[in-house]
Structure 1
Amino acid sequence: MGCCTGRCTLILLCCLQLMTAAERQVFDFLSYQWAPITVNFFHIIMVILGLFGAVQYRSRYVIMYLLWMLLWLGWNVFVSCLYLDLGGLSKDSDILSLGVSSHRSWWKDNGPGCESHSLPSAGWQSQENPELTTVLSCWLQYQHIEVLHCSVQLLLSLLGFVYAVYVTSLFSDEEETYYK
């Protein structure tokens, strides 16, 4: 066995996916986006199963991870299209919050370099009201940050898919030699 086999690379990719999915989950919880929270939760479970399959030489778990990567790729393309307003989708819709809340991306108000200023109002001087706050001069617009998150997930998922196919073929070769 070499130092960096396909199996070790798949394990590394699964660990990276877990870290980036946990980070994404935190920011989705902060913005009350329930659809991404649910999908991220299933993604974390499937990546853990894929990791377990790669460590324990269980091809069924790796195949399940492989199939999930196809769905995960589709989800990230959908979210990217949503934030870029492609294909009739709009970032201003409440699709990601499932219509339960009126919250948007956490990055919209808290992005890097964003300065928020409260608008003056007579009766609400002492209270923080989100409708009376404007965000000015962000370094990077929130939709680009969200698309960047999706791009990282797409890259890791594509690499994970390729290595899962490779590892699955190795496992089947090892099973054939084992049973002969």
Structure 2
Amino acid sequence: MGCCTGRCTLIFLCTLQLLAALERQVFDFLGYQWAPILANFLHIIIVILGLFGTIQYRPRYIVVYAIWTAIWVTWNIFIICFYLEVGGLSKDSELLTFNISRHQSWWSENGPGCVRKEASMSGIKGLDNHSYISVIGCALEYRYIEVMHSSFQILIALVGFVYACYVVSVFTEEEDSCLRK
């Protein structure tokens, strides 16, 4: 096989997916969003499995990767709906943190152009160590940054799915032609 084959393209796509997932994982850890952290972790494992299957000519691993990309697209559509508050979803809910904490996207306080102001809540019983945080001047709302992240993940996953199906068909075709000889 040549270097510009579907196999090489799938290797490139898996590597790109790994980099994008690791970047997303870092920012989800910073925001203490446990549901996305677990989903990203599983995604990283499956993409590594798909990468291994592509490099080692193992179509079954690539099939697992292809199935996972469909699930991954669904998860990212949910994330987009969550941040755009489609249906009964609210970006201010504690759904992504499993109701463990009141944290939200790291981008909500640290987005491009955002100025973070803290006001101490002294004098209120039980809240002496807490502060009120207001964020102003953001060039782009954090929910749109999260939507862009998910949209990019969907795009890579869809292209990866197509190439995974192609590579599996090429691998099984080569296997069949070897068996016929």
TM-score, L = length of structure 2: 0.93
Whichever residue aligns with residue 13 of structure 1, its letter is L
Deviations 1:42-100 (A, max 9, x none): 00000000000000000000000000001000000000000001122111111100111
SS in 2 for 1:100: coil
Q: Percent identity?
A: 56
Q: What is aligned with 2:38?
A: 38
Shift of the alpha carbon at 1:132?
1.6
Q: What is aligned with 1:60?
A: 60
Deviations 1:111-153 (A, max 9, x none): 01101122366659xx874x42210010110000000100110
Q: What is aligned with 1:28?
A: 28
SS in 2 for 1:117: strand
Q: What is aligned with 2:118?
A: 118
Are 1:97 and 2:97 matched, yes or no?
yes
Distance, in Å, in 2 between the alignment partners of 1:57 and 1:150 is 30
SS in 2 for 1:96: helix
SS in 2 for 1:85: coil
Distance, in Å, in 1 between the alignment partners of 2:65 and 2:142 is 30
SS in 1 for 2:117: strand
Number of residues paired by the alignment?
177
- Contact 2:31–2:105 under 8 Å retained in 1: yes
Whichever residue aligns with residue 105 of structure 1, its letter is S
Gaps of 5+ in 2: none
Shift of the alpha carbon at 1:2?
3.1
Distance, in Å, in 1 between the alignment partners of 2:25 and 2:11 is 21
- Contact 2:122–2:129 under 8 Å retained in 1: no
Whichever residue aligns with residue 42 of structure 2, its letter is F
Gaps of 5+ in 1: none
SS in 1 for 2:112: coil
Q: What is aligned with 1:73?
A: 73
How much is the aligned-residue C-alpha RMSD, in angstroms? 1.6
